[in-house]
Amino acid sequence: MQPIVRTGMNTNRIDQALYRNIVKATCNAIRQAQIFLPADVKFAISNAMERETSPVAKSELRNILDNLSRAEELKLPICQDTGVPVIYLTIPPDVPYCTGLLDAIREGVRMATKVVPLRPNAVDPVSRENTGDNTGTGMPSIHVSPGSQLTITVLPKGAGAENMSRIAMLLPSEKASIPKFVAETMLIAGGRPCPPVILGVGIGGTFDQVASLAKEALLLPVNTMDPFEQDLCDTVNKLGIGPMGLGGDTTAIAVKVKRASCHTASLPVAVNVQCWASRRATVVVPL
């Protein structure tokens, strides 16, 4: 296959048809994420509802499931906080990584803001001026990795849960404190991040890397947990915070962990808190 780039011209530009396909795919991925919760998350919430022993918690979980059906039926966003889009891109060898690609994604976000519609959430961090279209300086954040296809994964992140996330540079001798740090994050958060939550936990890497790992952990399916993740999840659930902080067995529906090697003298840990509306969707861009 020929590389899809205009040679001899501005190499930051991509083929117009590809540009349009990326815009459309980004917009579609956002729309899908906003209206349809992934099947594994929905299944986990409905399992939690079956198991829940507190009547109040059970009715909260029933409201959530009912809300999911209404969103699908009415083609409306699941939650009014449509978040800010976090984008994960995989690029195959024959597509050049250039600014034209990123411009197309930003255009897709602007389009989604109008057609889904999304609440315009992106503001200047200091002046607080709203850009009105969910893009801005460094917004959306786009994470790129090599792949066999051109895929766009969208994770819309609401502020209620994001604001409860924490990072710690533990000492290597404190590795036994990881569960304490995770549980403490939920204790401080209480009902504010709209539990039941999913906790994305990053362990290792560097200061910047560990936060990325925690967020990437939220892309993992929640239908399986390894023994370490299950232990963390059980510990968090022992706090009894329950759906919306009203008490119950279900504070977290899953804890997912991603690791990276780190310096022998450090132990970074990050917890990215995700509300029950764990929205994500992937769309393959036709080439």
Partner 1 sequence: MSVIALRTPLGEEVLSLRAGDRVTLSGLVYTARDEAHLMMEECGIPFDPNGAAIYHCGPIILYGKVVAAGPTTSARMNKLSGFLLDNGVRALIGKGGMGETVREQLRGKGIYLAFTGGCAALAASCMKYRGIYYEELGMAEAVWELEFDKVPLVVGIDSKGNDIFYDVSCKAKLQFSSLFK
Applying the rule CB under 8 A, the residues between 127 and 146 that interact with partner 1 are none
**Which is nearer to partner 1, 22 or 183 (by Cβ)?**
183
Residue 247 binds to partner 1 (criterion: CB under 8 A): yes
Kindly state the tokens that stand for 82: 């449509």
Query: Among residues 274, 283, 227, 226, which one has the least CA distance to residue 253?
Result: 274
Torsion sign across C-alpha atoms 127, 144, 193, 267 = negative
Query: Is residue 214 within 8 Å of residue 272, measured between CB atoms?
Result: yes
Residue 145 backbone dihedrals phi, psi, to 5 degrees: -145, 155
Letters for 217-246 (x = contact with partner 1 by CB under 8 A, - = none) are ------------------x--xxxxxxxxx
80 binds partner 1 (CB under 8 A): yes
Q: Residues 201, 205, 206, CA angle at the centre, nearest 5°? A: 105
Does 126 bind partner 1 (CB under 8 A)? Our answer is no
- Pick one of 10, 63, 99, 141: the residue that binds partner 1 (CB under 8 A): 63
CA–CA separation, 212 vs 102, rounded Å? 19
- Measured from the CB of residue 270, what is the shortest distance to partner 1 in angstroms? 19
Residues 6+ apart with CB under 8 A from 183: 232, 235, 236, 239
Q: Of these, 60, 107, 133, 162, which contacts partner 1 (CB under 8 A)?
A: 60
Quote the distance between the C-alpha of residue 109 and its chain's center: 16
Q: What is the DSSP string of 176-203?
A: GGHHHHHHHHHHHHTTTT-SSEEEEEEE
x-or-dash pattern for partner 1, window 167-206, by CB under 8 A? ------------xx--xx--x--xxx-x------------
User: Among 39-47, 68-76, 139-147, 204-212, which window interacts with partner 1 (CB under 8 A)?
Assistant: 68-76
Query: Which residue lies nearer to partner 1 by CB, 78 or 222?
Result: 78
The number of residues that bind partner 1 (CB under 8 A) is: 44
Decide if residue 276 touches partner 1 (CB under 8 A): yes
Q: Give residues in contact with partner 1 (CB under 8 A).
A: 55-56, 59-60, 63-64, 66-68, 70-71, 74, 76-81, 119, 158, 160, 179-180, 183-184, 187, 190-192, 194, 235, 238-247, 275-277
